[in-house]
Structure 1
Amino acid sequence: MNLIEPKRGLELVLSLHQAMLSSQLRTVLTPTLADVFVFSYPIYLIVLYSIGRIKKQISYKVASLWIFANVVVTTLVNIGIQALVQKSRPNIVLGLIDEKVETVLHKFLPTSSFPSDHAAVSMSIAVATFLRGIQKKDRKYIYFSIILFVFSCIMCVSRIATAVHRPTDILGGILVGAIIPLLLSTKKISSFGEKISLWIGKKI
């Protein structure tokens, strides 16, 4: 299946890309911001799990495992959609490929740009963390989620500016990243996931 980007979408890509190139600082910083937060997510989950081990509080370990499960399911769904949808990246379509402004993970990017993996994963971990805070009435997860939402927004805009994604790629990823945690938070699925996470948390 081939998707065609609305004209305004490509215009936005060009506008943000030109704004990035107009400043030396933005030219250096934006490609980094387009990827760097991805590396913070494993650290976040490992720290969360480690707190559970150190404090001997299983709830932290369960939270880490359950949020991780949300991200895994989201990633698999996103990859499945990418396999069905063929959509070349805007930097290829618009002839904007430039090694000087490549993102950190550019060489590892899949061919299809829809939906955005980065948007899906970043939104998934933020939404899953937020829902954890709501369900368990624990404000710290809500505070964490706010930081994660900010990370996601910065990264998504940066990916459009570097022309590796169109706005619709980002919106598609955001929808996948939001819908999957919402589905997994339903009572039956959440209860089952909680039991599995609890069992694993007690074992390791």
Structure 2
Amino acid sequence: MEENESVSMARWARIMNKDNGYGGEFNHETSGDKEIVELATAATWCEEMARQFSVELANLRANNDDPPDCFVDFDGKTLDVELVQMINPDHKKRANKGESPHANPLFQDTQWHASRIRKEVDLLVDQKAQKYAKRGVSIDVLLIHTAEPWLYAAQIEEFLTNNTFVPHRGIANVFLLMGYDPSRKQWPLFKLYGDL
């Protein structure tokens, strides 16, 4: 490995380990980092759409005029894709100040249950929908991505068997992409609503 690659890898490792590693997969420091993370996340979403939903998306590209964050082609159309991270900012701040998400009291506070899933997803979608409505913008896909340390794919599966999300005008599809799960050998992906 060349020295520049080594320095770059060490930098990304440091970025991912910020805040005691809380939600570190999607951490970034600069706007350039953010674009890299968003495009890599969107690329993972495209791969998992093919693998888990048999939906082939092509020609992923960044949008320099955000929003949306990027575009992707599907069935002869260009789709707008906006990304938003689901990470509890208060918990992340506490981790940054030295609390471990693996020990109480932060461990207890970061546990997930149906009402918290509902509350945090609804909040993100509502905020994005209001933002787009003010701008007169609609998007094809809102991709929520999360690396919350104590949120598991099985919890989302269970939640979705008993709950649905109300579609918002201006956001045609909402997906939730979770951090890589080695037991499943995939990045769990869930359709929260839409017809894509």
TM norm. shorter chain > 0.5:
no
Structure with bigger strand share is 2
The structure with the largest alpha-carbon Rg is: 1
- Asked which structure has the greater RCO (Cα within 8 Å, sep 6+), the reply is 1
